[in-house]
Amino acid sequence: MRLSATMLTLSLCLSGLAGIGPFAAAAQEATGPEAARAPRARAVLPGLAGDGTVLLPNGWSLKPAGRQSALGDFPVQMALHPKAPILAVLHAGYGEHEVVTVAAATGKVIGRVALPETFAGLAWSADGARLFVGGGFDDCIYRFDHAEGLLSDRAVLPLGKPRRGPGGESKVPGGLALSGDGKVLWVANLYGHSLMRLDAGTGAVLDTLAMEADSYPFGLAWDEPAHRLYASLWNRAAVAVIDTEARKVVATIAAQEHPNEMLLAKGGRLLYVANANRNSVSVIDTKAGGSIETIGTAIDPAAPAGCTPSSLAMTPDGSVLLVANANTNHVSLINVKEPGASTPLGFIPTGWYPTSVRVSDDGKAIYVANGKGQGSRANRGGPDPVHAAPGANLREYIAGLFHGTLSIVSMPGPREMAAYSNTVYACSPVRRGASAAVRGEAPPAGHPIPGRVGDPSPIKHVVYIIKENRTYDQVFGDVPGGNGEPGLCLFPESVTPNHHALAREFVLLDNFYVDGEVSADGHEWTMGAYATDFVERTWPLSYRGDRRAPYPSEGSLAMATPAGGYLWDRAAEKGVSYRSYGEFIKNSDVPGAPATTGVKALQGHFDPLYRSFDMAYPDVRRAGRFLEELAGFEKSGEMPRLIVMRLPNDHTAGTRPGSPTVMACLGDNDLALGMVVEGLSRSRFWKETAIFVVEDDAQNGSDHVDAHRTVALAISPYVRRGTVDSTMYSTSSMLRTMELILGLEPMSQFDASARPLYAAFGSQPDLRPYAKRPAGVDLDAKNTRNAPMAEVSQRLDLEIEDRADDLVFNQIIWKAVRGAGATAPPPVRAAFVVPRPKAREDDDD
């Protein structure tokens, strides 16, 4: 049965929602102070459940509606053929970039065409005989002929001379808009901050229209009869209006942060704009030149930002708007029959990170491209990253596992809509009033972590230490009583005595997962409980080796900043004192010279003499610098309530000749952590302090549970000493715990709904100080030219974290520890459960 806009409203379709659903209920089994002593069998682990749902490492769940079909690496955009039941799907992930054609009725892949690179931009000609595709940082448009689902006769339409290395300006096409007669193509140049008009036949550039600096024009919507082109300004929370005859900007209309995909309706009178950095869609009256409504897309109107609306579609009768919410894994349906008076209809559950939504011409089917697929599982029997065929091992690297899927969903009627909406609620930990409450849970009376923001806590100071790229099994796989696999442990207690002592004396967190995949999004999640659509779309290009793509993190680009800001923004908002040591800080060229930051909130709130990521600089020197400042705090009697500190050397320099050995790097990092904890535990502030330690990401290390499982520590007089807490936590859980202690509001839906570390803390303080353990390895040991894979390591870029091929880097680390003849086991990854279909032999480019 087709859904009409008048069939139901949200209050009807969601009536009778019961509690928190089976998925969240399962995740609560190990909640509460007794969870630290819970038997192993009760630990909730990510993966496929008996009822068909998939629990993600971040605590959210998936149960996508409809039929699921395999696509490729990170599908980002779809376009329906204008005359045939065929979908073109653009892929722009870490692995192969390609256009895939799919039979819309069955989801079966018809053909695949590989591309050197793409980012966005997909448009059919009106007759469906041609397809135009953006060429990413190669600054071109690809034009294909099309027949019966197969693409051929590729032509390259250059947008100018492409940039081959750092420096200069890239254009990077985003949105495309083609004239009805197929002769003129408008192109939005994201990084070129301009629009271009091309002759679609010859490829000649007819005009270039410069836009506002750093505006990042993204999506295009062309009202050709009215001679109006609309361009969403990704970094300006606005839409530019262009007169296509005069070829100039005639107006700018306000939207909200990160406007991306747009949709014209009502004969061009209304323009719908998806705002990815908010939970919203702006509705613009194009005649009046202003917004008439803002439509919310979250399951809770009070929820903080985090939905990431990334795509729009509309039923043929113009009555129902569909919005793909990438980060919260659902499609929102809205009754828009009456302009300016929309009403919510409900939600459809999708796969992981839906990037694009479309509706069939007859209105009977909904198509959703899920950028990250259907969920995570263990894959210990996967390809051997050493002996596999060239290129095959990319699927075992976490960045190469965004194996997307296509969901084909029949347009639901009222009964189906209600059931789908219930599933979306059950799959999400977000509850009504999520901005104020914590998952509906409450700690016991007298617990040091408050149940609500603003409630008192005996803990006054929080120290947040961020390290680099280790899994749980790599460090704690040898710890008795924890869920570890000793065979995967590279850095046992003899190498990391302080990590082990801290986990043993305080609490072992053996079910803790990072929210990010790599450092580029990992540092965003670590400090902001969110990675924007800009970060998610950009980092795969950077990590696949294109140095023209920027590193979109750690304050390098304002465009990456989430709507909810970072932890220090929340501290500033509440008047909580804070200071950064190396996080979001840019080093000087010479150690000892003052560092800088481009982050406004950190101006005057960071130590310029504390060095950020630099593998030539020991962590023990970083720890020493902090202890110097701690001595000053002791004298003054005042210490910032929030301290953020970076100890990055567990990243290691591989086996690069002359650099510290892998073991020396881990030993250095371990001793530095012990020094910091010892110093704080012997200070006057200890009785009111909590220290939290986490990796920004886990990346390519082996772990027998999940690639996201990582090293995390909680250290405080209020920690329940000598315990094992197997409650399922994430980076956002740690952030939520700190926010509650300091009285800070959450930054996104993810920390707002994350489970705090209640079970790891108790009401009775134990003030015994910590005594650091001496290094168990030679901290001065250097790699020789005979070190395993030394020649390969020498060629790796280690100036910035994660610039090296991480799969290769992991092999180097494994061989450095286990010997040149050792083979690293296939890593357990956040893998995607639908296998990739075999490419057709007759695919032609």
Q: What is the pLDDT of residues 786-813, one digit of tens each?
A: 665 555 555 555 555 555 555 555 555 6
Q: What mean pLDDT do residues 458-475 have?
A: 95
Identify the three-state secondary structure at position 338.
coil
Residue 670 near residue 647 (C-beta atoms within 8 A): no
Centre a 10 Å sphere on the Cβ of residue 576 and count the other Cβ atoms it contains.
Answer: 18
Asked if pLDDT for residue 834 goes beyond 50, the answer is: no
Residue 638 near residue 579 (C-beta atoms within 8 A): no
Residue 338 near residue 291 (C-beta atoms within 8 A): no
Asked if pLDDT for residue 387 goes beyond 70, the answer is: no
Identify the three-state secondary structure at position 26.
helix
* Whole-angstrom distance, CA of residue 130 vs CA of residue 147: 9
Q: How many domains does the chain have?
A: 2
* Whole-angstrom distance, CA of residue 446 vs CA of residue 272: 49
The predicted pLDDT at position 48 comes to 85
Residue 181 near residue 198 (C-beta atoms within 8 A): no
Chain CA centroid to CA 710, Å = 16
Q: What is the pLDDT of residues 142-191, one digit of tens each?
A: 999 999 999 999 999 999 876 554 445 799 999 999 999 999 999 999 99
Beta strands in 698-777 (DSSP E): 712-715, 723-725, 729-730
Identify the three-state secondary structure at position 32.
coil
* Whole-angstrom distance, CA of residue 304 vs CA of residue 288: 30
Runs of H (alpha helix) within 711-789 = 731-742, 749-752
The predicted pLDDT at position 442 comes to 83
Query: Which one-letter amino acid corresponds to residue 379?
Result: N
For residues 244 and 340, state if they share a domain.
Answer: yes
* Whole-angstrom distance, CA of residue 845 vs CA of residue 837: 19
Identify the three-state secondary structure at position 189.
strand
For residues 118 and 259, state if they share a domain.
Answer: yes
Asked if pLDDT for residue 773 goes beyond 70, the answer is: yes
Six-digit token pair at 317?
């009768």
Tell me if 480 is assigned to some domain: yes
Residue-wise over 820-831: b if at least 16 C-beta within 10 A, else e? eeeebbbbbbbb
As a whole-number percent, the residues of the chain with pLDDT over 90 amount to 74
The predicted pLDDT at position 10 comes to 38
Using only C-alpha atoms, the chain has a radius of gyration, in whole angstroms, of 26
As a whole-number percent, the residues of the chain with pLDDT over 70 amount to 82
Asked if pLDDT for residue 278 goes beyond 50, the answer is: yes
Tell me if 448 is assigned to some domain: no
Q: Is 26 exposed, middle or buried (0-12, 13-18, 19+ CB in 10 A)?
A: middle
For residues 316 and 423, state if they share a domain.
Answer: yes
* Whole-angstrom distance, CA of residue 476 vs CA of residue 489: 7
Six-digit token pair at 476?
């704690």
Mean pLDDT score of the chain, rounded to an integer? Answer: 86
In terms of pLDDT, which residue wins out, 600 or 820? 600
Apex 648 CA angle, 646 and 649, nearest 5: 145
User: Could you give the C-alpha distances from 733 to 50, 196, 433, 473, 702, in angstroms and in order?
Assistant: 25, 45, 18, 20, 23
Confidence of residue 821 (pLDDT cuts 50, 70, 90): low
Least confident of 14-23, 243-252, 630-639, 704-713: 14-23
Residue 675 near residue 627 (C-beta atoms within 8 A): yes
Residue 71 near residue 112 (C-beta atoms within 8 A): no
For residues 675 and 748, state if they share a domain.
Answer: yes
The predicted pLDDT at position 431 comes to 80
For residues 125 and 238, state if they share a domain.
Answer: yes
Phi and psi at residue 843, to the nearest 5°: -60, 140
Q: What is the pLDDT of residues 152-161, one digit of tens each?
A: 999 999 998 7
For residues 354 and 480, state if they share a domain.
Answer: no
Tell me if 13 is assigned to some domain: no
Q: What mean pLDDT do residues 585-603 have?
A: 94
Give percent helix, percent strand, percent coil of the chain, each to the nearest 5: 20, 30, 50
Tell me if 157 is assigned to some domain: yes
Least confident of 34-48, 225-239, 464-478, 496-510: 34-48
Residue-wise over 154-184: b if at least 16 C-beta within 10 A, else e? eeebbbeebbeeeeeebbbbbbbbbbeebeb
Q: What mean pLDDT do residues 80-87 have?
A: 97
E strand or H helix at 808: helix 806-818
For residues 467 and 358, state if they share a domain.
Answer: no
The predicted pLDDT at position 384 comes to 28
E strand or H helix at 681: helix 662-681
Residue 147 near residue 138 (C-beta atoms within 8 A): no
For residues 493 and 365, state if they share a domain.
Answer: no
For residues 352 and 480, state if they share a domain.
Answer: no
Q: Dihedral (C-alpha) 614, 615, 621, 627: value to the nearest 10 degrees?
A: 60
Least confident of 115-129, 344-358, 693-707, 708-722: 693-707
Beta strands in 374-450 (DSSP E): 403-410
Residue 845 near residue 155 (C-beta atoms within 8 A): no
Q: What is the pLDDT of residues 512-563, one digit of tens each?
A: 999 998 889 999 999 999 999 999 999 999 888 888 999 999 998 999 999 9
Residue 760 near residue 716 (C-beta atoms within 8 A): no
* Whole-angstrom distance, CA of residue 532 vs CA of residue 638: 35
Asked if pLDDT for residue 377 goes beyond 70, the answer is: no
E strand or H helix at 499: helix 497-505
CATH code of the domain in which 351 resides: 2.130.10.10
Asked if pLDDT for residue 748 goes beyond 50, the answer is: yes
For residues 418 and 514, state if they share a domain.
Answer: no
* Residues counted in the chain: 845
Confidence of residue 38 (pLDDT cuts 50, 70, 90): very low
The predicted pLDDT at position 253 comes to 98
Taking alpha carbons only, the member of 656, 664, 665, 659 closest to residue 791 is 656
In terms of pLDDT, which residue wins out, 750 or 435? 750
Identify the three-state secondary structure at position 110.
strand
* Whole-angstrom distance, CA of residue 411 vs CA of residue 434: 30
Given the structure tokens 């053909």, which residue do they identify?
111
Phi and psi at residue 78, to the nearest 5°: -125, 155
Six-digit token pair at 505?
């004396």
Confidence of residue 652 (pLDDT cuts 50, 70, 90): confident
Tell me if 307 is assigned to some domain: yes
For residues 62 and 131, state if they share a domain.
Answer: yes
User: Could you give the C-alpha distances from 134 to 119, 120, 140, 466, 736, in angstroms and in order?
Assistant: 7, 6, 7, 37, 40
The predicted pLDDT at position 348 comes to 98
Chain CA centroid to CA 194, Å = 27
Chain CA centroid to CA 300, Å = 21
For residues 420 and 466, state if they share a domain.
Answer: no
The predicted pLDDT at position 543 comes to 86
Please give the DSSP secondary-structure letter assigned to residue 62.
E
Could you tell me which residues come within 8 angstroms of residue 176 by beta carbon, excluding any fewer than 6 positions away? 121, 122, 123, 132, 134, 141, 185, 186, 187, 188, 220
Phi and psi at residue 604, to the nearest 5°: 80, 5
Six-digit token pair at 21?
């659903």
CATH code of the domain in which 754 resides: 3.40.720
Tell me if 550 is assigned to some domain: no
Question: Residue 93 is part of which domain span?
Answer: 56-376+402-427
Tell me if 422 is assigned to some domain: yes
Residue 827 near residue 701 (C-beta atoms within 8 A): yes
* Whole-angstrom distance, CA of residue 553 vs CA of residue 533: 12
Asked if pLDDT for residue 14 goes beyond 80, the answer is: no
Confidence of residue 193 (pLDDT cuts 50, 70, 90): very high
Q: What mean pLDDT do residues 97-124 have?
A: 97
The predicted pLDDT at position 399 comes to 53
In terms of pLDDT, which residue wins out, 651 or 750? 750
Q: What mean pLDDT do residues 15-40 have?
A: 33
* Whole-angstrom distance, CA of residue 304 vs CA of residue 306: 7
Tell me if 806 is assigned to some domain: yes
